[in-house]
Amino acid sequence: MKVAVIPDAAMMIVHLIGKNGHEYLSPTNLSEEKLRAKDPYDESTVDYDAPPYNMTEESTLVGNKYVSGEAPSGVKGRMSLYDNIITNAEAAVILGRPPKNYKKMYNTLNHLILFGSVSCINHHSLVVKLIKQKNIPILQVSFPTTRDEIIRMIGKVNCFLKNLDKIDPKLINDDNLDINLRKKQDKYSLNDFKKIIRDNSGV
């Protein structure tokens, strides 16, 4: 099956897709095999026949069907690249956003390679919304902040991909992520909040 990863190019998840016999959908025709074969310092290995290098005037307009005329050009351009994913995805894995005040486990480059990048939050939110509107199996996992959480996340993604042909088209959100793709926080009722204020203010 053709599987989308959001954010794109989160190699920790992309690797599992091919390993489980599925096809990774990329807006730039990226693949794990291509990355392994490429010398990052050799500009002659750049594939100028792949997006975004081969985009024409017409192909840059494809994103207009997803946004209004007032949308920033950066969002429109990114949506043009993601049209292939939105149209052809048969399943998706959505990685949640890191919690606020998150302390990175890896240096910036390795963090980017392993977990991908949201890049533009407006574009990211729109792609997530459009993918969720499709009648396909979707796994939503929280952003791992420890080694144990990474192991658990890999286990969940592996289980999802291995059983993809048996999973009903629905959103699986066992990590209880909210609309912002972060873990939901427990909230206090108004009465409990007032009690906390009273107890700590001496009133």
End-to-end CA gap in the chain: 62
∠ Cα 94 100 101 (to 5°): 130
Can you give the pLDDT at residue 78? 87
How many alpha carbons fall within 13 Å on the CB side of residue 38? 13
In the three-class reduction of DSSP (H, G, I as helix; E, B as strand; rest coil), residue 139 is classed as: strand
- Token couple for 180: 């912002």
Contact 132, 101 (CB under 8 A): no
pLDDT digits (tens, 9 = 90+) for 121-162: 888 999 999 999 999 999 999 999 999 999 999 999 999 999
Distance, in Å, from the CA atom of 143 to the CA atom of 94, rounded to the nearest integer, reads 10
Rounded-to-integer distance, Cα 62 and Cα 74, Å:
13
Phi (first) and psi of residue 138, to 5 degrees: -135, 130
Q: Where are the beta strands (DSSP E) in 2-159?
A: 2-6, 23-25, 91-95, 138-141
pLDDT at 38: 65
**pLDDT number for residue 108:** 85
CA-based Rg of the chain, rounded to a whole angstrom? Answer: 20
Residue 61: per-residue pLDDT: 80
Q: H/E element holding 171?
A: strand 171-172
Which residues of the chain are under the pLDDT cut of 70? 29-47, 50-51, 54, 185-186, 202-203
- Provide the pLDDT for residue 133: 94
pTM for this predicted structure: 0.78
pLDDT of 160 reads: 96
Return the pLDDT at 143: 92
pLDDT attached to residue 41? 67
